[in-house]
């Protein structure tokens, strides 16, 4: 029976949204990214040794390396994001490196939407009370925040208006529909 199964990502039923004009909005699901919650006492050195990147110590920030990003979510909570299909090894690496912390695989618990394009900030501002001006929310900023009727983890991944949004799996379709609907008039206007 071993090969009978298939994995289905939370937004497998939605087609990505392209930004043909380059003036609008692109939206895709980033499937199966490994996502690990780390809670408790975490030594910066241990993380550096394990993943080669620093542990974000400041609220509203993230540290990124080639393969991984670590997002500060709370004074004793981080989200480690890694390439697809690496969650098992990531859990074991982290659990070994961080004996005093709780390391929980939440890969399947969250969906990740990448939103980018000139309209991205505007559309996000329709849902979150967070100030997304580059002065306040620059590349590398990350936080959990309110978004419309749900909670998201927002991560600005570059100087360009490109964001990764992690949302609880069961609400992924809601968020997708919401972003699609909110941006529709502007996408229509670009047609």
Partner 1 sequence: MMLIPCPWCGDRLDAEFTCGGEAHIMRPDPATASDAEWADYLFMRENPKGLHHERWFHAHGCRRWFHMTRDTASHRIVAVYAITESAPEASG
Partner 2 sequence: MQSWRNSTGGIIDRSRRLSFTFDGRRLAGHPGDTLASALLANGIHLVGRSFKYHRPRGIVGSGVEEPNALVRLGEGGAVEPNARATTSELFDGLVASSQNRWPSLAFDVGALNSVASGLIPAGFYYKTFMWPAKAWTFYERFIRRAAGLGQAPEEPDPDVYEKRFAHCDVLVVGAGPAGLQAARAAAPAPAGVRAAPAAGRSGARVILADEQAVPGGSLLAEHVTLDGVPGQDWPESVRTELASMTDVTLLTRTTVAGYYDHNFLVAVERLTDHLPSGESPLPRQRLWKIRARHVVLATGAIERPLVFPGNDRPGVMLGSAVRAFANRWGVRCGARAVVFANNDSAYRSAIDAADSGIHVTTIVDCRAAPRGRLVEEAHSRGIDVLAGSVIAGVEGRKRVRGVAISTLDGSTPAAARKECDLVMMSGGWNPTVHLASQSGTRLAWDESLATFIPGDAASHQTSVGAAAGTFGLVECLTSGALAGTDAAARAGFDGEAPPVPEVDDDTGDGALDLEAFWHRPASPRDGKAFHDLQNDVTTADVALATRENYVSVEHFKRYTTTGMGTDQGKTSNVNGLAILAGHVGSSIPGVGHTTYRPFYTPVTIGALAGIDTAGELYDPVRRTPMHAWHAANGAHFEDVGQWKRPYCYLREGESVEEAVERETRAVRTGVGILDASTLGKIDVQGKDAAAFLDRLYTGTFSTLAPGRCRYGLMCHDDGMVFDDGVTARIADNRFLVSTTTGGAATVLNWFEEWLQTEWWDLDVHMTSVTTQWAAIAVAGPESRDLVSGLTTTDLSSDAFPFMTWRDADIAGIPGRIFRISFSGETGYELHVPASYALSLWQILMMAGERHAITPYGTEAMHVLRAEKGFIIVGQDTDGTTTPHDLGMSWLVSKKKPDFLGKRGLRRPDTLREDRKQLVGLLTDDPQVVIPEGAHVSPEPEAKPPVPMEGWVSSSYMSPNCGHSIALALIRRGHDRMGESVAIPLEDRTIRARIVKPVFFDEEGARLRG
Burial class of residue 188, CB neighbours in 10 A (0-12, 13-18, 19+): exposed
Q: Does 136 bind partner 2 (CB under 8 A)?
A: yes
Q: Report what 23 binds from partner 1, partner 2, none; CB cut-off 5-8 Å by kind.
A: none
User: Residue 66 binds which one of partner 2, partner 1, none, with CB within 5 to 8 A depending on kind?
Assistant: none
Query: What does 57 bind: partner 1, partner 2, none (CB cut-off 5 to 8 Å by kind)?
Result: none
Long-range contacts of residues 139-148, Cβ cutoff 8 Å, at least 24 apart = 140/61, 140/62, 140/63, 140/64, 141/60, 141/61, 141/62, 142/56, 142/60, 142/61, 142/62, 142/69, 142/71, 142/72, 143/59, 143/60, 143/72, 143/73, 144/73, 144/74, 147/175, 148/175, 148/178
Sheet holding 101-105, edge to edge: 62-64, 69-74, 77-82, 34-40, 101-105
Q: Which does 59 bind (CB under 5 to 8 A by kind): partner 2, partner 1, none?
A: partner 1
CB closer to partner 1, 28 vs 150: 150
82 is a site residue for partner 2 (CB under 8 A): no
Q: Which of 14, 19, 30, 39 binds partner 2 (CB under 8 A)?
A: 39
126 binding partner 2? (CB under 8 A): yes
Residue 58 interacts with partner 2 (CB under 8 A)?
Answer: no
Q: Which residues bind partner 2 (CB under 8 A)?
A: 1-10, 13, 32, 37, 39-40, 76, 101-102, 104-110, 122, 125-126, 128-131, 133, 135-136, 148-150, 168-171, 173-175, 177-178, 181-182, 185-186, 188-189
């Amino acid at each position: 029976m071993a090969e009978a199964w298939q994995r289905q990502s939370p937004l497998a039923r939605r087609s990505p949204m392209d930004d043909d004009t380059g003036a609008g909005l692109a939206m895709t699901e980033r499937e199966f990214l490994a996502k690990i919650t780390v809670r408790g006492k975490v030594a910066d050195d241990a993380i550096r040794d394990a993943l080669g990147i620093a542990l974000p110590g400041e609220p509203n920030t993230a540290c990124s390396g080639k393969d991984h990003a670590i997002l500060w979510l709370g004074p004793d909570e981080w989200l480690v994001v890694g390439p697809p299909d690496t969650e098992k090894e990531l859990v074991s690496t982290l659990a070994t490196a961080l004996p005093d912390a709780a390391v929980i695989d939440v890969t399947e618990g969250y969906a990740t939407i990448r939103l980018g394009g000139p309209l991205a900030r505007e559309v996000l501002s329709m849902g979150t009370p967070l100030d997304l001006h580059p002065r306040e929310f620059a590349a590398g900023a990350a936080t959990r925040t309110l978004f419309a009727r749900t909670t998201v983890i927002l991560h600005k991944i570059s100087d360009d208006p490109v964001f990764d949004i992690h949302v609880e799996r069961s609400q992924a379709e809601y968020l997708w529909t919401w972003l699609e609907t909110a941006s529709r008039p502007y996408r229509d206007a670009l047609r």
